[in-house]
């Protein structure tokens, strides 16, 4: 199906040579516009961080981005605001996210290798099936999956959130890796065959080492998406000590309600922080990933 979507595969040239085409006035206007947009976009975010450092009395009286008397009080209140410390919830999120990354990268790379490099009966058929699942909304499988995990006794454990990822259910990553593996010259495999390598050795010694860009992209995106995921943990986790940070934060909204925005903002800031750090470190990778594949987020 994705063949039909014709995802515009767009190279990102190092620098477009448009400099100098626009008149000074137009450039000044463009700058003014961009700075205004930056300000409007970032203002709420910066204000949230600033407010997490304010005493509660100040939050509803200050639109400024600089707290008058910065304090970490809200962080202390928030960290212990639930019956389980947020530390536990962050560990839960981290464990789930790391397992999902491992599962996704391993199983999707294996499937992509089979689809691109191995010849076996039914390959075309299964490949078409894989493309078919690319655009299938999760809602079509949601309820039977839930009932199945319920019958298996997996509900209220991390198994429904992690085990499926070891079975390459995120067809998107399979597709991403198929595209990348196809760009690796076949001569390299053939040379390895001459040297007596079997499919497993070729996969481990030739394909994977040459695929670090796509493996890194898959790693970062699957970590961020899992860290941010709310729906699956909401359905599958019941006990608060098993909650992810996202789920804990949402429970905290209920218990802190309108009363302690400072603590709420402090914990909100902390749940976004890991993603922000990944964003700073892997900015190029993320942006190129979006530009070349059209990933939705």
Partner 1 sequence: MPAAAAASARAVQRDDLAGYGFLLPWLLGFLLLTLGPVAASFYLSLTDYSGLSAPNWVGIENYRRIATDDPRFVTAMTVTFTFVLLSVPLKLLFALGVAVALNKGLAGLSFFRAVFYLPSLIGGSVAIAVLWRQVFAGDGLLNQALNALFGYEGPSWIANPSTSLYTLVLLAVWQFGSSMIIFLAGLRQIPQDIYEAASIDGAQPVRQFFKITLPLLTPVIFFNAVIQTIDAFKAFTSAFVISDGTGGPIDSTLFYTLYLYQEAFTNFRFGYASALAWILVLIIAVFTALSFLSARYWVHYDD
Q: Is 133 in the site for partner 1 (CB under 8 A)?
A: yes
For partner 1, the closer CB: 75 or 261: 261
Q: Which residue from 42, 66, 62 is spatially nearest to 261, judged by alpha carbons?
A: 62
Applying CB under 8 A, which of residues 38, 68, 255, 259 lies at the interface with partner 1? 38
Q: How far is the CB of 187 from partner 1 (least distance, A)?
A: 19
First vs last C-alpha separation in the chain: 20
CA 29 to chain centre: 35
Applying CB under 8 A, which of residues 100, 158, 174, 214 lies at the interface with partner 1? 174
Six token digits for residue 21: 């085409």
Residues 6+ apart with CB under 8 A from 19: none
Applying CB under 8 A, which of residues 105, 169, 215, 237 lies at the interface with partner 1? 169
Applying CB under 8 A, which of residues 94, 141, 188, 216 lies at the interface with partner 1? 141
* Alpha-carbon torsion (140, 297, 229, 52), positive or negative: negative
Angle between helices 212-228 and 261-293 (to 10 degrees): 150
Per-residue CA distances from 170 to 7, 123, 175, 187 (Å)? 18, 19, 9, 30
Q: Is 239 in the site for partner 1 (CB under 8 A)?
A: no
Percent helix / strand / coil, the chain, rounded to 5: 70, 0, 30
For partner 1, the closer CB: 41 or 72: 41
Q: How far is the CB of 272 from partner 1 (least distance, A)?
A: 5
Applying CB under 8 A, which of residues 26, 76, 182, 201 lies at the interface with partner 1? 26
Q: Is 82 in the site for partner 1 (CB under 8 A)?
A: no
Binding to partner 1 in span 91-130, by CB under 8 A: 106-108, 110-111, 113-115, 118-121, 123, 126, 129-130
Q: Is 68 in the site for partner 1 (CB under 8 A)?
A: no
For partner 1, the closer CB: 94 or 141: 141
Q: How many whole angstroms separate alpha carbon 281 and alpha carbon 291?
A: 18
Applying CB under 8 A, which of residues 56, 102, 156, 166 lies at the interface with partner 1? 166
Applying CB under 8 A, which of residues 140, 152, 191, 277 lies at the interface with partner 1? 140
What DSSP state is assigned to residue 165?
Answer: G
Binding to partner 1 in span 175-234, by CB under 8 A: 198-200, 203, 224, 228, 230-231, 234
Q: Is 282 in the site for partner 1 (CB under 8 A)?
A: no
Q: How many residues bind partner 1 (CB under 8 A)?
A: 110
Cβ atoms of 237 and 243 closer than 8 Å: yes
Q: Is 152 in the site for partner 1 (CB under 8 A)?
A: no
Q: How many whole angstroms separate alpha carbon 8 and alpha carbon 2?
A: 11
């Amino acid at each position: 199906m994705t063949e039909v979507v014709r995802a515009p595969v767009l190279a990102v040239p190092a620098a477009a040579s448009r400099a100098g085409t626009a008149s000074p006035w137009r450039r000044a206007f463009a700058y003014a516009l961009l700075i205004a947009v930056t300000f409007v976009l970032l203002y709420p975010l910066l204000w949230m961080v600033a407010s997490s450092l304010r005493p509660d009395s100040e939050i509803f009286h200050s639109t400024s981005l600089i707290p008058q008397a910065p304090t970490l009080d809200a962080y202390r209140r928030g960290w212990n605001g639930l019956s389980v410390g947020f530390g536990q919830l962050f560990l839960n999120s981290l464990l789930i996210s790391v397992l999902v990354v491992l599962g996704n990268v391993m199983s999707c790379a294996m499937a992509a290798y089979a689809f691109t490099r191995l010849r076996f009966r039914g390959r075309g058929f299964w490949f078409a099936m894989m493309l078919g699942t690319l655009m299938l909304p999760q809602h079509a499988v949601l309820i039977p999956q839930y009932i199945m995990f319920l019958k298996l006794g997996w509900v209220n454990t991390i198994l429904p959130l992690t085990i499926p990822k070891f079975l390459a259910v995120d067809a998107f990553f399979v597709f991403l890796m198929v595209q990348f593996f196809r760009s690796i010259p076949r001569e390299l495999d053939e040379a390895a065959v001459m040297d007596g390598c079997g499919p497993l050795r070729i996969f481990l010694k030739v394909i994977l080492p040459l695929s670090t860009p796509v493996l890194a992209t898959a790693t970062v995106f699957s970590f961020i998406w899992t860290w941010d995921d709310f729906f699956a943990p909401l359905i599958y986790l019941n006990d608060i000590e098993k909650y992810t940070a996202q789920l804990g934060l949402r429970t905290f909204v209920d218990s802190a309600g309108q009363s302690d925005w400072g603590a709420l903002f402090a914990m909100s800031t902390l749940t976004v922080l890991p993603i922000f750090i990944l964003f700073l470190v892997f900015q190029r990778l993320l942006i190129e990933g979006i530009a070349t594949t059209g990933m939705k987020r």
